[in-house]
Amino acid sequence: MGFQMGVATGPGAAIGAGFGAAAGMIHGVVKDQFEETELKTEAEIRDAKRRAQAQAALSANYKRRMDLHPSRDIYPADMFFSGDSAKMCPQGVGMIQEIARLNEYRLPYSRLVIAAYAKSTGNADTSYVQHLTDRRSREFVNQLIRAGVEPRRLETRSVIMDAPLVIDPKDDPTRYNQAIEIIPIDR
């Protein structure tokens, strides 16, 4: 019996293998839990960074808004959309998530109209501008819904203008040629 315990076969080897397997399993579980915690922490840091960037951009817009149009919730379209398209930029998605969070507490039951504005240069581009504003208002609403706003609270509106919606003397005078406005219907 003693001879078999000292050899790499027999009951001793089985007992050692069992202890080794148990120790390896425990080590693996602990390592997996650590990695999961690390991944979760990294995701939380990315989310906090995204929220901080969105809040900084919204804060700057709210400060500017107090000088230009204090009673209206207007944003230049370039804060959310890439160029002359209805494709939402990543920063825009983050800002919409923050806007949804703000409206959850600020106007929890109010219906909201999401109005997309664009300046038309004439008859030749009117159909494109109409198409662009329709798609932008729908995309903005879709992002609000993804961020948790109830769809029944939202409606879209597209508006074609002859002049910029707002003229900011401290910014590019054409910046508000395309804009988004959030209009509470019932407060």
129 inside domain: yes
116-169 residue pLDDT tens: 999 988 777 888 999 999 999 999 999 999 999 999 999 999 999 988 888 888
**At what angle are helices 126-146 and 90-106 packed, to 10 degrees?**
60
Q: Whole-structure pTM over 0.75, yes or no?
A: no
12 inside domain: no
* CA distances from residue 126 to 119, 122, 136, 161 in whole angstroms, order as listed: 9, 6, 15, 10
At 143, which CATH number?
Answer: 3.30.1330.60
Question: 62: domain range?
Answer: 41-184
71-96 residue pLDDT tens: 889 999 999 998 888 999 989 999 99
How many domains, in total, are found in the chain? Answer: 1
164 inside domain: yes
31 inside domain: no
